[in-house]
Structure 1
Amino acid sequence: MGAHARVSDGQRRSRWITYTATGLLVVVVLIIMAIMWGTRTANATATAQSKAKQLNEQLVAAGLSPVDPDVLTKALGTKGGQLCADPAGTVAKVAALTTGAAGPGQRPVIAPQRLIEGAGLVVKVYCPDKQEQFAQALAGLHLEG
């Protein structure tokens, strides 16, 4: 007898059934995953659009200009972007605004109050749990009136 054993027709049929069933199972799982991914993306987009609408309502109520909802949806998503991820760091970056010149011409710029008000509204709508952290980061800043 050789090193290779012969496979009977019954074994071939059994393997074919096993491989076919496994392949079909993988295809079904992939289809279910694709459907779930599409639903998740649609829900996230609807949530982001709802928050953008809510932020625009808050901006108008505060006497500020509304922003294109598509821009807000893309920039802030559902979680408020960098402002909600690190309120103190973002405020520090705003506080460090300069004229853009280098060397002796570089001068600090006082951040406009409306910029901070708008950021505060973003925090209020997208991450209300970080309002205290945002307020602490603002303490001591000199803002343009």
Structure 2
Amino acid sequence: MSTHMESSTKRGRSVLYIVSMILLVVFAVVALLTFRQARETQQSLAKADQLIATIDAAGGTAPSREQIARVLGDDGGAVCANPNDALSRATFLSQLTNGATGPGNRPVIANAKIALGELAIIKVYCPDKLAEFQQFIDGLKTYHTGGA
């Protein structure tokens, strides 16, 4: 077996490495900008408007249209990935605690309004999964405050 002798110069290799790194950075910047623009499509903005209207109708305060479009896109993002999966439900339930950390963390009987945000997202972005998630929410022990 024979090996091929390297014939490139040190300067030639340095130029190649520098050009390669510059191209890699340029491609990364272009990919990042393209990804951000693709997430904010007209459909995602329309769904964000629909979600804002749903939250406002329930008496809540919604984030900005652009924030919702960036986070949820046009498909609901992580919320609609599988809201009825055991891990998704466990994550949701982990938010219904007393707010302490470590050994002081305890589940609580939460306000019924806590679930309205997630229900609104599922209603707008993945309505096919709403019935099963609504059953899960209805099975939670919650309390209702006076008023709305």
**Which category of TM-score, normalised to the shorter sequence, fits these structures?**
0.5 to 0.7
Structure 2 match to 1:130: 129
Which residue is 1:47 aligned to? Answer: 43
> Which residue is equivalent to 2:141?
142
Query: What's 2:92 paired with?
Result: 94
Aligned alpha-carbon RMSD (Å): 2.2
Which 5+ residue runs of structure 2 have no aligned equivalent?
1-33
Counterpart-to-counterpart distance in 2, 1:101 and 1:66: 27
Cα offset for 1:42? Answer: 5.7
What percentage of aligned pairs have identical amino acids? 34
Q: Which moved more, 1:60-69 or 1:109-118?
A: 109-118
CA contact (8 A) 1:59 1:121 kept: yes
Unaligned runs of 5+ in 1: 1-37
Q: Which has the higher helix share?
A: 1
CA contact 2:47–2:125 (8 Å) conserved in 1? yes
TM-score, with structure 1 as normaliser? 0.62
Q: Which residue of 1 aligns with 2:59?
A: 63
Separation (CA, whole Å) in 2 of partners of 1:78 and 1:110: 33
> 1:78 is matched by which residue type in structure 2?
D
TM-score for the superposition, normalised by structure 2: 0.61
- Aligned match for 1:84, one of 75, 80, 86: 80
After TM superposition, give the deviation of residue 43 of structure 1 in Å. 8.9
Question: Which structure is larger by alpha-carbon Rg, 1 or 2?
Answer: 1
CA distance in 2, matches of 1:74, 1:135: 25
Q: CA 1:72 to 1:43, structure 2 compared with 1: closer, same or farther past 3 Å?
A: closer
Q: Is the 8 A contact 1:95 1:111 kept in 2?
A: no
CA contact 1:48–1:78 (8 Å) conserved in 2: yes
CA shift, 1:74, in A, is: 1.0
- Are the counterparts in 2 of residues 94 and 111 from structure 1 also a CA contact under 8 Å? no
User: Structure 2: which amino acid aligns with 1:133?
Assistant: E
Q: Is the 8 A contact 1:91 1:138 kept in 2?
A: no
Determine the C-alpha separation between the residues in 1 that align with 2:39 and 2:107.
42
